[in-house]
Amino acid sequence: MKNKWDLVLGSQSAEEFFDSLSDGIIISDKNGKIIVYNRAKEIQENRDRKNMLGKYTWDAYGYSGREGSEHWSVYKTGIPAINKYSAHSVVDGEARYISYSTYPLIIEGETVGVYSVSKTEDTLHQNLVDTIEKKREFQSNDDDLNLHKYNENGTRYTFSDIIGESEEMRSVVHIAQNVSFLDNTLLIIGETGTGKEVLAQSIHNFGEKFREPFIGINCSAIPENLLESMLFGTEKGVYTGAVDSAGLFEKAGKGTIFLDDINTMPLTLQAKLLRAIQERRVSRLGSAESYEIKCRIISATNEDPFKLIGEGRFREDLYYRIAGYTINIPSLRNRREDIIRLVEYFIRRYNKILGKSAIGVDNTLKVTLDNYFWPGNIRELENLVENMLVNTDKDEKYLTIKAIPPYLKSRFLITDIQVKEEKILENRNYNNLLDDFERRTITEYLIENNWNISKTARILDLNRNSLIHKIKRLEIKKD
């Protein structure tokens, strides 16, 4: 064992090496005794290494026994504790927080101890992460029932509100956290209902300007002339009834402005927005004076921007200005492993609101939810869970497909046979299965687009006459 430890310790140069690191390092041996405690760790925790070296980790940190020590737990299980955040000391009456990860120390295939690496954060970042973690802790203590009250900066969401452990969503969150501290423009791409504004608010709240305003506007919900005056502001008298009013760029200050559904913005207004972003200055309507744009600009689109450009519905030069970086949020059907996790989250949330006590869904409903196309994504799923809970008895523990409201059953293609027989597909041949899939897909998009055949054909990349032919062949009918 001594030879193996010599690979890590055993010389004055090793101690000098650890002391040269800016990260805090603590190493314990297989018995739990602290054998390395570097200078950066002393500063982070406001402790003297002389009082730490040679002690068991549980004694050094005041735990009741070794079972309370994270180092001992990692040594026994071999499972690292990654990206932890907690108070390790008190300085001038205030808790000092550090972020750290703890790993088993493996040398030549044998676990000989445990080591932790703790990061030094600047004061602002410390306060930021502290705020986020306290919010996450509060939500956890409240059984994940975040009723989403508005914060002073105009937001309701942080990364703790993004539910999902799929590889796709973990990647989205990782990228979003990395760009949170940048000031460049950002474009979020995702279908309707995927949570684009949730992500935008989370990015704002994770960045250094989280105390500044977050102002969001849905470009598709406001007429062009009104949208322009809302964005840039007005001077009194520029048109009948106009008053001196600051625009949203001005109100956002050094914070964030979120332009949702920017793909619906008229081309004439796109040109004015392009000029404002290029020059980082804008004038109120009717004013010769301009003011500097200091806020970060985050935009979102529910359509492929290059398809929009190709169809002449979006300016290519504006795209390159608003897309300093792009993040694609996957649709719910492309992260199906998150569906049940989201369902359980919404059940917990609406249990309290509706006075119910459900804890999950039965197997038949799981299969139904997993096979559905989810054109409305998370927003549609949340609406379904709320409706099902309304139809569920107060003491019922598991939701079933019987709880799906009658007016929604057609969307899920639920029949009496499906309710009674889960193996309905076993005797169907391949062509019938293909027809079923095509029928379901076309029906879902028709419903989503209010049975507008031209719009549905464009989304499905079909000729209008071809879509009409398929509707007749598959006997798709509007209820």
Indicate the pLDDT class of residue 140, thresholds 50, 70 and 90: very low
Q: What share of the chain in percent tops pLDDT 90?
A: 41
> Are residues 42 and 26 in contact, defined by beta-carbon separation less than 8 angstroms?
no
430-474 shares the fold of 14-119: no
**Integer Cα distance of 352 and 220 in angstroms:** 33
Where along the chain do its domains lie?
A: 14-119, 142-328, 353-426, 430-474
CATH 3.40.50.300 fits 142-328, yes or no: yes
Instruction: Lowest mean pLDDT of 78-92, 233-247, 261-275, 308-322, name the range.
Output: 78-92
Q: According to the model, what pLDDT value does residue 332 have?
A: 95
Give exposure, 124-145, as e/b (b: 16+ Cβ within 10 Å). Answer: eebebeebbbebbeebeeeeee
Highest mean pLDDT (candidates 107-111, 297-301, 450-454): 297-301
CA 186 to centroid of chain Cα atoms? 15
Q: Assign domain 14-119 to its CATH architecture.
A: 2-Layer Sandwich (3.30)
Q: Is 8 left (phi over 0), alpha (psi -120 to 50) or beta?
A: alpha
Q: Going edge to edge, which strands form the sheet with 24-29?
A: 34-37, 24-29, 110-119, 94-107, 81-91
More confident residue, 355 or 81: 355
Out of 3.40.50.300, 3.40.50.2300, 1.10.8.60, 3.40.640.10, select the CATH number for domain 353-426.
Answer: 1.10.8.60
Mean pLDDT of 44-62: 88
Q: Is 325 left (phi over 0), alpha (psi -120 to 50) or beta?
A: beta
Mean pLDDT of 177-194: 93
**Integer Cα distance of 43 and 454 in angstroms:** 67
384-430 per-position pLDDT tens digit: 999 999 999 998 999 998 898 877 776 675 544 444 444 444 444 54
Mean pLDDT of 441-457: 84
**Integer Cα distance of 388 and 384 in angstroms:** 6
Mean pLDDT of 311-317: 96
Q: Assign domain 430-474 to its CATH architecture.
A: Orthogonal Bundle (1.10)
- pTM for this one? 0.59
